[in-house]
Structure 1
Amino acid sequence: MSERPPKALRTDSGAPRTDAAVPRTDSGTPRPGSAVPRTDAGVPGADSKAPRPDAPGGFWAQATADPARTVLIAPGGEQWTAGRLHGDVNRLVHGLRAAGLRRGDAFAVVLPNGVEFLTAYLAATQAGFYLVPVNHHLVGPEIAWIVADSGARVLIAHARFGATAAAAADEAGLPASGRYAVGAVDGFRPYTALLDGQPATPPADRTLGWVMNYTSGTTGRPRGIRRPLPGTPPEETHLGGFLGIFGIRPFDGNVHLVCSPMYHTAVLQFAGASLHIGHRLVLMDGWTPEEMLRLIDTHACTHTHMVPTQFHRLLALPEEVRARYDVSSMRHAVHGAAPCPGQVKRAMIDWWGHCVEEYYAASEGGGAFATAEDWLKKPGTVGRAWPISELAVFDDDGNRLPPGEVGTVYMKMSTGGFSYHKDEAKTRKNRIGDFFTVGDLGLLDEDGYLFLRDRKIDMIISGGVNIYPAEVEAVLLGHPAVADAAVFGIPHADWGEEVKAVVEPAEGHTPGPELSAAILAHCERRLAGFKRPRSVDFIGAMPRDPNGKLYKRRLRDPYWEGRDRPV
């Protein structure tokens, strides 16, 4: 068992005293860099040679100063020191440059949570590359689109996803010289070929690179969120600074548990930021509720990023299983990505204490944050604007609305902009000045707390994953028996929502189980599993107005009768 960091101060009831543990500004927002009090026992590694929080550097400087410090517990329990990881990162930069990559170039990864994913992240961010993480649940054509659209010159895939990655590389026209695999994949060179023979010393001309995540929209095809590279050394950017928004301190005995796939924007951001400010990472490759509890207990994990579906499954464990593990080391269980039912959140706070915190944000940037106290004081809120962000609510005419009035929620960041790769029209769309929106409806109260009243138009959130109906509908309409189609979310006890398809059959096709099975098989060949409809219902004619607008709510609402739809 690894050495425990000091526990957060706790009340007699067992809930962390966040009024003490997270100093706040007068506005109630956690102050970036605010401290969690240390116990008399001190902080593990306090005598370490690693730079202190006020020193510049990030991971690379820490690894140089204290290469023997354990920074990573890989899936399966293997421990990695900073020096060992740093050496592989440097070798990968040299290897990618030898493969032809230059500053501003992109490379894609189809990888599970593991050392190779973090090595790719750290290599990109010190060599001026764009890392393109790809959801490994996607099918070949979906991955091919991202590889081709991003201009990735190299694809690194895991053998677990080898067949899909190979099909994607073929469709994207990626040359054999740009294909590398962790494990054996036909037509791919070994990943080790990028590292073998390369020096472990830092590369020359180190410059900040970044992650280029792909996010879908209601128009179907995913688009890359591309931020300009500043051309400065990575040490000049405080890469872990945003964790101060949540009151998470550098070093301070923190251990971050990565319990969701790192191809998700927020999951990789939290993991990378934690590494850069001196936290040890514990990686899960595949999440189960009891294993999460075991890892928290074993490694005294202090913070993690979660989605409400994980809360639901944790709470479903038998009481004797839940009582078997000590989770009192947890300081910040930050959740987002999907609405959390009130009864679920209250149950988690009762169990884990006031470490249960919530945020609202978009991959494009900007957001709000609510502590447990905020939420208990104002149930349903997703919090107030981050110190580096601003929130506003506008009506359909672009007028800023006063507190209490429902409109479209807009955000902006004070730390730079973004564009959608190869899509200037999408970049300009849905903006008012420097503010942008992802289409959510809500209101700000008189204290600046945000309450959401509806979600992105028609978007489905299943298990914390965004599913865009337009993409699924496009696939359905490609079947010759489908004249019209609508896709929306219906209740699911575990995932929150599941995908439902309603189909208007084409003339000459009879609705029924055989046609339903044929349509679902058609989707199976063209869509990732999480996007596929779980069932198909048939309708005589879609409810559309004379201009072709589909009244999707008329189709969706009957499935939600008598149930609280998460909004």
Structure 2
Amino acid sequence: MQPYLCDPWTTADRFPDRPAVLVTDTQEAYSFRELTVRADALAEGLKRAGVPEGAIVSTDIPTGPRFFALVLAGLRYGYGVFPVGGHHFGTSTAATLLTDTAAAVHVTDGGRPLGPLPCPVLLDDELAARSEPAPASPESMDRPRAGYLIFATSGTTGEPQAVLRPRPPRPYKGVAVAERYGAGTDRGPHIMANPTYHLGTLGPALYALQAGSAVVVQRAWSPGNFVATVDRYEADSAMLSPDRLLELVEHGKAPEHRLRVVFHGGSACPPEVKRSAVDLLGPVLHEYYGTSRGTLTEISSDDWLRHPGSVGRPLPGIRIEIVRDGHTVPAGEVGEICVSLRGADRSSDEDRFMGTGDIGFVDSDGFLTVVGRADASGDPDQARLEHEIRLIPGVTDVAVVGGDLTCYVEVSKRRSADVTPGIRAAAQRLGLTLHGVVTGPTGSLPRTPSGKIARSSLGTARPADADTGPGR
């Protein structure tokens, strides 16, 4: 099927009562008509409040109908929308992020105390009420350049950082609907089982919504709840971070209603875990790799089975080079992953190739494998060790941290074998000395809201029932 453009306003015109966004535990819901009317009203409210086109609007509204209405208002009417996780408020992090992005206003639903912020705060309901009389229809208005989303890094190794993106040069047109993404007005809902403010979790949901699919937000996570939600709503797509994909694999039960696409990404997924997920769900996994600036690569289940461990080849318009000691290395050699973004996605003053801080290699067919994250000095050996440990049967996740190289490992609850000898052998092959190995069951390490291991917390945290000791 050839791609075609679609947007929520087109869906609202054709199917006004079609469900657009639903939250499972609160039953808060908007149809496409309600969603787009709300988005138009919020945009008009921002204009009447004196927020200029092109300004950055931050928000802490939880993922759901009101949140997506604000995002769509920003995309269509030319605002930068910066979602900031609620856990950052009450600390200095939120104010720092808003200062760094020069946010013009913060929009909230009033659900939490925010503390002092460096910009005015407006309630979304009050903004929507400012839109009377009703704004002119978009067709009769001069269309501004499209808005865009801004994301913060996960903060796995320190404080989160806002990553600014250039504003698109043309008006908002929606998305090109492609068969492989399992979304459209003829498709079932998308399950947003990681309802967090992260490109990897929000991106697939926003794409599905713009393509005409409903988005079902599952805030209370459990594998059983996910299976029941897919079956209840006859969903066609979902997004699962690697830790939740693993929990589903260990749960061992798939939905009776077969999903067309299961997106996953955000951190490395051990090959054993992914093979088990393909066995459980079918060849429907669609993995992606990127940064807070955008998605860089994608890979289908079929391609992954031919290139296990890979995250795919670059998307059109994107180039990837592997660099070590300032030089591009040939296929198969490990180095820093450097990327050249599409012209529309980078500023005129940016270098053509930018380092990602991730370590990896490209095979002879052009498929990228992400080994891990470089340490503070840029040394890839720590990331290479993590990669080797993920290949050990039974290991479901790992983080090697600290100057003295302490290894924190999660082990599948279905495995009884001791993984420590394999870990010690991997370190020896790379010429590294481990201070200690800490093992615990799957799900025992501290995580960020997006599902990544919170590395900055590992110095003071031990998994429950852990084994530890020098050289273990």
What is the Cα deviation at residue 108 of structure 1?
0.7
Post-superposition offset of 1:109 = 0.7
* 2:123 corresponds to 1:173: no
Q: 1:33-55: CA deviations, max 9, x gaps? A: 66xxxxxxxxxxxxxxxxxx64x
**Aligned-pair CA distance for 1:123:** 0.7
Matched residue, 1:536: 460
By how many angstroms is 1:338 displaced?
0.8
* CA RMSD across the alignment: 3.5
Q: Structure 1 residue 194 and structure 2 residue 127: aligned?
A: yes
2:149 to 182, 197, 211: 211
Identity %: 24
Secondary structure of the residue that 2:460 maps to in structure 1?
Answer: strand
Matched positions, count = 402
Equivalent residues of 2:80, 2:148 under 8 A apart: yes
Aligned residue type for 1:104 = G
**From 369, 372, 383, the counterpart of 2:312:** 383
1:147 maps to 98
Q: The residue matched to 1:438 in structure 2 has which SS?
A: strand
Report deviation, 1:560: 10
- Once the two structures are superposed, residues 366-422 of structure 1 have per-residue CA deviations (whole angstroms, 9 ceiling, x without a partner) of 522222122222222222222342222223223x32222222222223352335xxx
Q: In structure 2, the residue corresponding to 1:257 is in which secondary structure?
A: strand
Deviates more, 1:147-156 or 1:82-91: 147-156
Structure 1 residue 247 displacement after superposition:
4.7
> Residue 168 of structure 2 contacts residue 345 of structure 2 at CA under 8 Å; is this kept in 1?
no
- CA distance in structure 2 between the partners assigned to 1:301 and 1:115 by the alignment: 18
Specify whether residues 559 and 397 from structure 1 end up closer, same or farther in structure 2 by C-alpha distance, changes over 3 A only.
Answer: farther
- Once the two structures are TM-superposed, the CA of residue 59 in structure 1 deviates from its matched residue by 1.4
Residues in 2 aligned to 1:489 and 1:327: alpha-carbon distance in whole angstroms = 39
Residues 8 and 212 in structure 2, CA contact (< 8 A), matched pair in contact too: yes
Residues 127 and 205 of structure 1 are in contact (CA less than 8 Å); yes or no, is this contact kept in structure 2? Answer: no
1:300 equivalent in alignment to 2:251: no
Q: 1:410 to 1:123 in 2, by over 3 A?
A: same
TM-score normalized by structure 1? 0.63
Q: Partner of 2:8 in structure 1?
A: 59
Correspondence 1:403 to 2:338 = no
CA contact (8 A) 1:256 1:303 kept: yes
Q: How does 1:310-349 map to 2 (within 5 A)?
A: 310-317=244-251, 322=253, 325-328=255-258, 330-349=259-278
Question: Which of residues 263, 273, 277 is equivalent to 2:197?
Answer: 263
Higher CA-based Rg:
1
User: Could you tell me how far 1:299 is from its partner in structure 2?
Assistant: 1.1
Gaps of 5+ in 2: 377-381, 387-395, 414-452, 462-467
1:435 pairs with 2:353:
yes
- State the distance in 2 between where 1:250 and 1:354 align: 20
The residue matched to 2:71 in structure 1 has which SS?
A: helix
Distance between the aligned counterparts of 1:211 and 1:486, measured in 2?
39
Kept in 2, the 8 Å contact 1:411–1:437? The answer is: yes
SS of the residue corresponding to residue 344 of structure 2 reads coil
Q: How many Å separate the matches in 1 of 2:471 and 2:278?
A: 29
Q: Within 2, Cα distance between the matches of 1:228 and 1:452?
A: 29
Q: How does 1:40-189 map to 2 (within 5 A)?
A: 54=4, 56-75=5-24, 76-139=26-89, 140-160=91-111, 162-163=112-113, 165=114, 167=115, 170=116, 172-174=117-119, 178-181=120-123
Equivalent of 1:451 in 364, 369, 375: 369
Query: Contact 1:71–1:279 (CA<8 Å) still a contact in 2?
Result: yes
Amino acid at match of 2:204: F
TM-score by length of 2: 0.75
After superposition, the C-alpha distances for 1:32-79 in whole angstroms (9 at most, x for unaligned) are: x66xxxxxxxxxxxxxxxxxx64x551122223432222222333344
Cα distance between partner residues in 1 of 2:96 and 2:405 = 22
- C-alpha distance in 1 between matches for 2:247 and 2:256: 17
CA distance in 1, matches of 2:302, 2:125: 49
